[in-house]
Amino acid sequence: MRTAFIKELIEEAKKNKNIFLIVADLGFSVVEPFIELFPDRFLNVGIAEQNMAGIASGLATEGYNVYIYSIGNFPTLRCMEQIRYDICYHNVNVKIIAVGGGYAYASLGASHHATEEIGMLRTIPNLTVCAPGDPEEMRAITKFTSAHNGPCYIRIGKAGEPEVHKKYDKSIAEVKSGDILNVINGTDIAVFSTGSMLDYSANFISNNSLKASLYSFPFIKPLNKNQFTDILKKYKRIITIEEHQLNGGFGSTILELINDLKETKTISSYPEIKRVGINNAFYSIAGTQDYLRKLAGIELQLNYFEL
């Protein structure tokens, strides 16, 4: 996904001279093509993520659309105060890119896990929260954020993620704010996936010959309520899956929105909801991303698909 991001950002920067990229002493072997083309619109601030957020806010007030880029937890958890006050309070054009969301950097231990940040960030006003599911979604989200006026958070994978939509003969040219993307059409059970759990979810449904639908949610905040309502009416059971704490994450977003739709009588009833995500625990064991996912309980089970 990070390669898809930088390639699309370069294309957008060719058209928009206000796009600016800042990194915190990482991203090398990824960001060099941007540096070569736009050396006057790139800055490496060193290992100083909070300072990076402040610099980005200042550049944004001067008219730039600034992308700040670092590993998962560093431009988010470390910078929460700067995101709230410098970026979102002033509603400036800063896009926060967290590469390696969830357990993508599982081998480096809990200090490099980004597993709580969505729950924190989605509560901050003015901030759009995105978690693309594959490189095609990443390209579309980059294009969207390059034109979007206001702060955004984009949680991406690391590298080598497959193009899931193309496997199912789907194509994504662009996305609008809050869009929900259909990947697999099924019957009366649906899986709602966000971020890098998309390929796992698609494979689970296909490998087990399940007649479930699969939807990808590249946006966690906001969601298109009309689109969401139409989807909701089709299913008796919904399974949400995310590489994030169950507390306050994507599944919580779904539950909250369903409750609000019921309260306003937009829907008369709603389906059973099963949430799959990280238990309320830290995992200090170093290992592969798949190993940490299993340890944390981020797995679909066949009995979840029984009505």
Q: Model confidence over 29-86: pLDDT tens digits?
A: 889 999 999 999 999 999 999 999 999 999 999 999 999 999 989 999 999 999 999 9
Q: pTM here?
A: 0.96
Q: Which of 201, 207, 159, 156 is nearest to 183 (CA)?
A: 201
- What's the length of the chain? 307
Take residue 14 and report the two structure tokens written for it: 């060719």
Closest to 148 measured CA to CA, from 243, 251, 221, 238 = 221
* DSSP string for residues in 21-56: EEESS--TTTSHHHHHH-GGGEEE--S-HHHHHHHH
Give the pLDDT confidence score for residue 27 in this predicted structure.
Answer: 77
Closest CA to 196 of 258, 118, 271: 118
- Where do the domains of the chain lie, and which CATH numbers do they carry? 2-156 (3.40.50.970), 164-302 (3.40.50.920)
pLDDT in tens, 135-161: 999 999 999 999 999 999 999 988 788
pLDDT of residue 53: 97
Give me the helix-helix angle, 225-232 and 250-263, nearest 10°.
90
